[in-house]
Structure 1
Amino acid sequence: MLKNKSYITWLIKRSYWRFRLELISGRDDLPRSLFKNKRIIIIGPASEVELDAKGKDIDDYDIIIRMNAGVKHATELSGALGNRTDFLFHNFKMEGERAAGVLNNKILNEHKVKKIIYPTLTAATLKDYLQKRESLKRTIQEVEVAFLPPSSYRRICRKFTPYSPTIGSIIIDFVLSTDFKELCIIGMSLFRTGYDQHYNNKAPDVSSTRKWTEAGGVHNPDFDFAITSRALREAIDDERNIVLGRGLSEALGVPFKGISTVEMSRHDESSSF
């Protein structure tokens, strides 16, 4: 009897939070329409990010996306990675050894952050999200707090079962689902290189980066590589305007301009005798 009552209580709570999620979905989430015909750059924390950024006018992009401690990272590099942030994808974890970066008025305003995006909203995480959002609203001003559409997160999670996608893969998956004009991705290698020392000095090489990512059993770097690299290759083969940094180009086996190996092989065949 007690067991049945506990199950019914759990079922009611789950149904309640699913209902709450439906109520706010489409209201406070990140609309794909914002990306239509825009030049977008995603800046990650991999060791080659400064090299990738050389020669690029990052601030000239319509939308600049960073993740977790990316704003602090850019600030410490004194403009080498651009001087503003339009969308900061952040998991709201601001304390502990694996904190994702502090969110406060000083750092957000200095980097002209427009929106903070919570990337992993589900019925199970909604209560925590709402509490932390209210806390943030009391400490930051002039910065919107929104979330990735839950349907987008559910879609990519199905691909990653039994693991969860990392924030980098979540961002790439979402942007690929929009009608962008150009997508540039720098400072990402899908765990084929280490972190930039200014972002995470505890994981400077591939081995330590994998261990850092796998800690807790939530993420699997091989899943991120296989699933996200496949999505990028398909987008490049569909002739979408995608430019990749060195680490990601090498990981995927495509030239820096984003021409796929399929296109290269076709070119080689047509020019051979």
Structure 2
Amino acid sequence: MLSFTKIFRSKSILKDKRIAIIGAANSAFDEENGNYIDDFDYVIRLNKAPYSLTENKSKFIGTKMDILIHSFYENNDSGGGVIDFNLYKKLGLRYLINPHNNFNGLKTHLNYFKRNFYTESTYLLSKKEYKNLIRGFGKKIPTVGYIGLYIALNSGAKEVFITGFTFFRTPYAQDYRDHLIDMKANQKHIYKQGLHDPELELKKFIQQIKKVKADRKIIMDKALQNILKKEL
């Protein structure tokens, strides 16, 4: 673990770059943005996303994957799915990030190394960045999706494109978590877990958007734009 774990320094890696971040909501399939997404300097995806990058979906969400933010829980129901570097290499992955630099995050990271024999580098956020992003969450834990948005918006990137994020106001896209594609089932799942607060995350996201400097370009899909119009 000590040999193959590094710190992901977003402000040095992503500064002044063009970034696309694709979430798991069905809104990512409202428009054919595949070529547009693949043209960005860095494309960020989440958890089980690599298993959804099939040929028939590429015209909507592209095929590029430079950064994968993964919970390091390898179960399929509520975790990030199996970590498969053989697949990731084919997709051009550069950084696999465990976003939780706390006790539980480090524990899941250690358990990953107990289960696997990969010798590829894995990444954690710095303690300082993690402390900043969880400020105001109290006992709730930010989702992998929110953390991805936080990283993108606070990296100093000159342009960020956001799609597939609706803060659980629309269903998951197909082939991501099909057993939770029903909205009521997903809401029950979130309540049962008791870990996340989508409404708090939306509020925090709006705060982050307002903080982005004027010289930084933020582009959002129509579904997210409509959500923000109702909130602002």
Same fold? TM cut 0.5: yes
The percentage of aligned residue pairs carrying the same residue is 26
Kindly provide the amino acid, as one letter, of the partner of residue 29 in structure 1: I
Kindly provide the amino acid, as one letter, of the partner of residue 121 in structure 1: N
Written as runs of structure 1 = structure 2, the 5 A alignment for 1:45-194 is 45-54=24-33, 56-75=35-54, 77-80=56-59, 81-95=61-75, 97-133=77-113, 135-136=115-116, 138-139=117-118, 143-194=120-171
Deviation at 1:98, TM superposition (A): 2.0
Kindly provide the amino acid, as one letter, of the partner of residue 28 in structure 1: K
- CA gap 1:172/1:96 in 2 versus in 1, 3 angstroms: closer
1:235 alignment counterpart? 212
2:48–2:80 contact (8 Å) kept in structure 1: yes
1:194–1:208 contact (8 Å) kept in structure 2: no
Whole-angstrom distance in 1 between the partners of 2:196 and 2:177: 17
Whole-angstrom distance in 1 between the partners of 2:111 and 2:67: 21
Q: Deviations over 1:186-232 (max 9, x none)?
A: 11111221111221222335433333333311111111122112322
- CA gap 1:147/1:111 in 2 versus in 1, 3 angstroms: same
1:249 alignment counterpart? 225
Which range moves more in the overlay, 195-204 or 75-84? 75-84
Whole-angstrom distance in 1 between the partners of 2:157 and 2:69: 18
2:34–2:58 contact (8 Å) kept in structure 1: no
Whole-angstrom distance in 2 between the partners of 1:96 and 1:86: 22
Deviation at 1:153, TM superposition (A): 1.8
2:73–2:108 contact (8 Å) kept in structure 1: no
Deviation at 1:180, TM superposition (A): 0.6
Whole-angstrom distance in 2 between the partners of 1:242 and 1:190: 18
Deviation at 1:53, TM superposition (A): 4.2
Whole-angstrom distance in 2 between the partners of 1:71 and 1:55: 15
2:20 alignment counterpart? 41
Helix, strand or coil: the match of 1:159? coil
- CA gap 1:56/1:227 in 2 versus in 1, 3 angstroms: same
1:15 alignment counterpart? none
Deviation at 1:77, TM superposition (A): 4.3
Of residues 197, 216, 219, the one that matches 1:220 is: 197
Which range moves more in the overlay, 77-86 or 49-58? 49-58
- Give unmatched runs, 5+ long, in structure 2: none
Helix, strand or coil: the match of 1:215? helix
Q: Deviations over 1:148-189 (max 9, x none)?
A: 222222222222112111111111112222111100001111
Kindly provide the amino acid, as one letter, of the partner of residue 28 in structure 2: V
- CA gap 1:75/1:133 in 2 versus in 1, 3 angstroms: farther
- CA gap 1:229/1:56 in 2 versus in 1, 3 angstroms: farther
Which range moves more in the overlay, 214-223 or 50-59? 50-59
- CA gap 1:64/1:133 in 2 versus in 1, 3 angstroms: farther
Helix, strand or coil: the match of 1:42? strand
- Give unmatched runs, 5+ long, in structure 1: 1-22, 255-260, 262-273
Whole-angstrom distance in 1 between the partners of 2:33 and 2:52: 16
Helix, strand or coil: the match of 1:101? coil
